[in-house]
Amino acid sequence: MWKDATGREWSTRITVNTISHVKETSGVLLTDLVDGNLFEQLSSDIILLCSVICRICEPQWTQREMTASDFGELLVGDAIDEAYRSFVEDLIAFFPKGRREVAAKIAKATRTFEAEKYKLIETRMDNGMVEKLLKQAVEKANAEIDLIMAAGEPSGKSPGS
């Protein structure tokens, strides 16, 4: 279970029917968790993640007389993290024991990788490296614009006689 931005509770319980529905409506095969790179895809594409969560919760938001757009408005900030955590737990629980253990290890490795990635980005932001690279890129772009402006714009083709 997880709570949306307004505090309403939602379930991300996964069944065979859920997997079929998500595949039909979003093209994402939830069983690719073990056989493919589902965690990597969902953790790096927040829109895809929210689309999958939306499809998993569709029976619930339909019952509450909501639209997909209404539901999407509830997926913001920490609610996305909560929904993702709940989804991962429920997806792991879906698998039989052997695959469940592998899925849990994949989930843990993905979480560790994501945490390290954001820690590295934060470190680079804190040490000014990103600002320095951005400043260099802006200076280079300005110099190129100055060269183009100094050369004058091309006149294009002259009209035929």
Domain count, the chain: 1
Q: Is residue 66 part of a domain?
A: yes
Q: Is residue 59 part of a domain?
A: yes
Q: Is residue 58 part of a domain?
A: yes
**What is the b/e burial string over 27-63, where b = at least 16 CB atoms within 10 angstroms of the residue's CB?**
ebebbebbeeebbeebbeeeebbbbbbbbbbbebbee
Each residue's pLDDT tens digit in the chain (161 positions)?
999 999 999 999 999 999 999 999 999 999 987 667 888 889 889 999 999 999 999 999 999 999 999 999 999 999 999 999 999 999 999 999 988 998 899 888 888 888 888 788 788 777 777 788 888 999 999 998 988 888 875 555 555 55
Q: What are phi and psi of 67, to 5 degrees?
A: -105, 170
Q: How many CA atoms lie within 13 A of 65 on its CB side?
A: 0
The residue range of the domain holding 55 is 2-115
d(CA 139, CA 88): 44
Q: Is residue 128 part of a domain?
A: no
